[in-house]
Amino acid sequence: MLQPIRTLALAGLLSLASHAALAAGNPLSVHILDLQSGQPTPGVTVDLEQKTAAGWRALGSAVTDAQGRIREMFPAKERFAAGEYRVVFHTGEHFAKIKQPTFFPEIPVPFTVEDAAQHYHIPLLLSPYGYSTYRGN
């Protein structure tokens, strides 16, 4: 009886490790926490854009998971390089779903990549009438 439990536990750990290894290869992740409830914010669309001489170029879009995370925000088909980027959190959709008014229907967060070899993590602490963000790890 103990052997099947060990096998299941090992399989779960290997699955988590392989997922972490895949996510570790992606240079950009985001996370949204709802300050009002203290809970993650799933189902929020986040766009990624890169600044060019002509303006902002769309690179991709993803939706936060059940933990309020997008672990692999940077698209695999693109080359991560130094420069200016921004993530745009479409928070109005989230607040509309929970029938809560908000002052910020979307939150653009511009940031500068100086070393493309590093991982960049952008957490968003969200409430209906305010937000905070910082460079995480």
- List, for residues 57-115, the tens digit of each pLDDT value: 999 999 999 999 999 999 999 999 999 999 999 999 999 999 999 999 999 999 999 99
| Spatial CB neighbours of 98, under 8 Å, sequence gap ≥ 6 | none
pLDDT for 7 equals 40
Average of pLDDT values for 113-125? 96
pLDDT for 9 equals 45
* Interatomic CA distance for residues 70 and 44, integer angstroms: 10
pLDDT for 3 equals 53
Average of pLDDT values for 111-125? 96
- Please report, for the chain, the start and end positions of each structural domain, with discontinuous segments joined by +: 27-133
Does the annotation flag 19 for ligand binding? no
Q: Which CATH number fits domain 27-133: 3.40.50.1820, 3.50.50.60, 2.60.40.180, 3.30.390.10?
A: 2.60.40.180
Which residue would you say has higher pLDDT here, 59 or 14?
A: 59
* Interatomic CA distance for residues 75 and 54, integer angstroms: 21
Find out whether 133 and 30 touch, Cβ atoms under 8 Å. Answer: no
Does the annotation flag 85 for ligand binding? no
Sort strands 39-40 and 107-113 into parallel, antiparallel or unpaired.
unpaired
Does the annotation flag 86 for ligand binding? no
> Coil, strand, or helix at residue 4?
helix
